[in-house]
Structure 1
Amino acid sequence: MPENDPTKPAPRFEDLRGVLRYVPQFRQRVFVIAIDGALMHQPGFPGLLQDVAVLQSLNIEVVLIFGARAQVRYLAGKRGVTLSNDDGMGQTDAATMEVAIDAITRQTSALMADLTALEMPVAVANALAVHPAGVINGVDQEFTGRIERVDTETLNVLMKADIIPVVPPMGYDSRGTTLRLNSDAVAVEVAIALRAAKVIFVSEAGLTNSEGERLAQISVGDAREMYRRKDPRYDINLLSKLRYAALACQEGVPRVHIVDGNQDEALLSELFSNEGVGTMIHADDYQQIRPAESSDVPALLSMMQQSMDDAALVPRTREQIQSKIHDFFVLELDGNPIGCVAVHDYDEGGKKTGELACLFVRRSHKNRGHGQKLVAFAEETARQRDCEVLVALSTQAFRFFEEKMGFLVTTPDALPTPRREKYNQSGRNSKVLTKPLR
């Protein structure tokens, strides 16, 4: 399509600004990207490799791992070979190993050709010291291997020279025997050894809940439990990724992503947006609510301006927020503020009442449960301040407080005297809602 084609969507500069927020924190960090072999035959594969090139251009150090399950299956079918296993996780007999060597060798050559065509410096790295898996549950695993050590020095030398290392799912033991490896295990062992910031599994499919909706993020415990009970929604390919994602986080990799490689620009969209398009398994405080600071005031005002214009929030000035900054809390997503809430308290006649105020979530992040988390946080904060009841005033969101958060609509008489006086003066005629905290 020509550069000046009028049908081409115009660039969204807010998206570009969003990308730029992430560049400093990603620069010179190691990302291990593991691509399912089946995706190498899809029309979108060249675009995926171009996304990898973008990451390298941003001074992100990339290691590429690839799976070979689809290629091993295809070649075995063509040759009439019955496979003992196709993904390097179970027993690998001699016939399966012969097919795997041929399939992985061809695949490595094809990937090198594709990357070279994109003018990306690349090298195949023999960076894995492996040993036979041995006997497991009474069964000799024969030519299945386990990783003993990762040659991080070689990988780092390549990356520092702006060369992308490609690590095949195959290795050699001390006797020179070729052994089959599982690509998910390779990706995680390499990431742990390199102290990578991320592992990104580019998969044949993504993770969804029982309603078919994308799982945006799950904890290490959830990932481990889904693997343990062999969640029937997912095939062995995704279960393997959950297993190794949990291991990676447990061993110090902060975040693991699983993205559906069939989506356009899935890799960049997952990495350079707050909510992403895939699933993130996290070991750190990816999402947190923290006390607001004076430096947050401009961002808070900017976020809330539209809602204040729409009369959904009471208009507030910089000075008003600053004067009660210790009552405000900020919801962050990957280090970016996306919502806030304030908790004020009143002591009248020995009875303490908390007020939930200034509840706000960015428009782009609504309907994802962030509002409920902020309200729950406000309730707990009020309890810690020994408040007996929490009140909230709302002109447009009172159904949310009633139906989702357990508040009850009452009269302005429930407000503490100083708050009731402000209520009468405002003329907003807000609904008054209360929730007992004891």
Structure 2
Amino acid sequence: MQKIQDSTAIVHQNTQDYLHWFRHSAPYINAHRNKTFVVMFDGEAIQHENFQYIIHDIALLHSLGIRLVLVYGARPQINAQLQIQHLQTPFHDVRRITTREALPCVMQAVGAARMQIEALLSMGLANSPMFGARIDVVSGNLVTAKPYGIRDGIDFQLTGEVRSVDVDAMTRLLERHNIVLLGPVGYSTTGEVFNLLAEEVATKTAIALKAEKLIFLGNQNGVFNSQGQLQREIVPHQLDQYITQYQQAQSQMALYLQGAKDAALNGVQRVHVLPYAHDGALIQELFTRDGIGTMVTDAHYEEVRMANIQDVGGLINLLRPLEEQGILVYRSRERLETEINQFAVIERDGTILACAALYPIPTTANEIASAEIACVAVHPSYRKSNRGSQILHFLEEKARTLNIHQLFVLTTRTAHWFLEHGFSHATVDDLPNARQALYNYQRNSLVFKKII
């Protein structure tokens, strides 16, 4: 009986977790609908056992109304074909030198990879996520190439680079709910075929289409700093050191990061680097707040701003648990609506991650112009970040613009945190008279002040 009860409890918990995730994914589903995403995966990803699940997730994204351009690489597949023909093609500066003898191997490997992807996207087996899905996949001469030429005295022969992509044709195909599939080859105006870097095809396509997202599925979780910590978010100008590092290690990650930098600086809002071996990486990155990999963006992903009336619901969700614990004074919805202009918030994707309020205190001519910082709160998942410091600094700057020279804080639990941020011990008698009159002796809050 106990085992049955335990099993029932586990099922109930799993169901609750699923419902919680599904409800919180709704804003992302709405935000992503009718947006264009370019997703690039290399030949190693195609060979990996998790690739079938990547295809299932791609089908799910398509069903949610996301416009998808898929770009695939084929390095290991080309290597295998060359080995069969006993041919060798050296690399220089990450690019394969493609000879005329090697080109048929390139075309055969790229064509076989394309058919494998198309077959998986056509699968409609019962008891699979693809059941009942009708997906039209279109590929063709959508990428125009030009010779890479002679570099460092080396003739790259039939290795090329992207000259242009057919934006009009791709846009029409995407508007008709097709998935566009591009390989690492391009065609010249003279009818020649060129071997291209798939990473370059993906980057140039995302820029030309003004895609909302460019996603690289690679063999690493993302970018790690020197301490081995995954960098969840990074701006383009910070990538150079990592690009150099990965180039020295001859890692394919250097190509992803160079593409990420170029795309982010040329209008692509967000670039994601994810692991292809992690089941559900695409879904976790796109439909949860923190994702799983590294995101590169030149936009302000989150910023401190003054609150508005639409933030009241989010503030209530953030403050209620702290009020129930007695850490903060209870504020009703009506009070929050009345005082909303006093609050600053940090928001990410519709969720309030942190807040604080600045209340000017009425002072007499003999008193220093003062204000109280109150209701400092940070979402439990982000308390080890610097968001509390960010919002405190923001309100200090705002106080200066109001010609306020002295800040007060009343707290029962977070004295050390305020001391670390430049506040010093004070007493109730140090408060301006108007604030002394409102002091709650039952709470017995400690008083801190800071001259600004």
TM-score > 0.5, shorter chain as reference: yes
Alignment of 1:28-39 (within 5 A): 28-39=34-45
Q: Say if 2:428 is the partner of 1:422.
A: no
Deviations 1:320-367 (A, max 9, x none): 222322211121113432221112223533522332211112223332
Alignment of 1:192-207 (within 5 A): 192-205=207-220, 206-207=222-223
| Equivalent position to 2:113, from 63, 84, 107 | 107
**Cα distance, 1:393–1:240 mapped onto 2, change above 3 Å:** farther
Q: Say if 2:242 is the partner of 1:240.
A: no
**For 2:415 and 2:233, how far apart are their aligned partners in 1?**
29
**For 2:85 and 2:384, how far apart are their aligned partners in 1?**
52
**For 1:91 and 1:335, how far apart are their aligned partners in 2?**
48
**Cα distance, 1:129–1:408 mapped onto 2, change above 3 Å:** same
Per the alignment, residue 41 of structure 1 pairs with 47
Per the alignment, residue 3 of structure 2 pairs with none
Q: Say if 2:321 is the partner of 1:319.
A: no
| Equivalent position to 1:187, from 202, 205, 211 | 202
**Cα distance, 1:390–1:239 mapped onto 2, change above 3 Å:** farther
| Equivalent position to 2:410, from 378, 389, 393 | 393
Per the alignment, residue 377 of structure 1 pairs with 394
**For 1:435 and 1:350, how far apart are their aligned partners in 2?**
15
**For 1:91 and 1:347, how far apart are their aligned partners in 2?**
75
Q: Say if 2:229 is the partner of 1:213.
A: yes
Per the alignment, residue 427 of structure 2 pairs with 411
Bigger Cα displacement from structure 2, 174-183 vs 93-102:
93-102
Per the alignment, residue 285 of structure 1 pairs with 300
Q: CA offset at residue 87 of structure 1?
A: 9.1
Residue identity matched to 2:234: I
Alignment TM-score, normalising by the size of structure 2 = 0.87
Q: Say if 2:381 is the partner of 1:364.
A: yes
Unpaired runs of at least 5, structure 1: none
- Conserved 8 A contact 1:389-1:435: yes
User: Helix, strand or coil: the match of 1:287?
Assistant: coil
Q: CA offset at residue 62 of structure 1?
A: 0.5
Alignment TM-score, normalising by the size of structure 1 = 0.89
User: Helix, strand or coil: the match of 2:181?
Assistant: strand
- Conserved 8 A contact 1:69-1:86: no
Per the alignment, residue 352 of structure 1 pairs with 369
**Cα distance, 1:159–1:224 mapped onto 2, change above 3 Å:** same
Q: CA offset at residue 79 of structure 1?
A: 5.3
Bigger Cα displacement from structure 2, 8-17 vs 125-134:
8-17
Per the alignment, residue 272 of structure 2 pairs with 257
Residue identity matched to 2:225: N
Per the alignment, residue 75 of structure 2 pairs with 69
| Equivalent position to 1:170, from 182, 185, 209 | 185
Indicate the RMSD between aligned Cα atoms, in angstroms: 2.6
Deviations 1:263-306 (A, max 9, x none): 22110111111211111111222212221112322321122111
**For 1:415 and 1:336, how far apart are their aligned partners in 2?**
34
Residue identity matched to 2:359: H
Alignment of 1:48-197 (within 5 A): 48-76=54-82, 81-85=87-91, 89=95, 91-94=97-100, 97-117=103-123, 118=130, 119=133, 120-197=135-212
Bigger Cα displacement from structure 2, 406-415 vs 288-297:
406-415
**For 2:417 and 2:248, how far apart are their aligned partners in 1?**
32
- Conserved 8 A contact 1:88-1:144: no
**Cα distance, 1:384–1:201 mapped onto 2, change above 3 Å:** same
Unpaired runs of at least 5, structure 2: 1-6, 124-129
**For 1:134 and 1:122, how far apart are their aligned partners in 2?**
33
**For 1:234 and 1:384, how far apart are their aligned partners in 2?**
50
Deviations 1:390-431 (A, max 9, x none): 33232223333334x3434443344333233333x2522233
- Conserved 8 A contact 2:215-2:271: yes
**For 1:165 and 1:28, how far apart are their aligned partners in 2?**
15
**Cα distance, 1:426–1:219 mapped onto 2, change above 3 Å:** farther
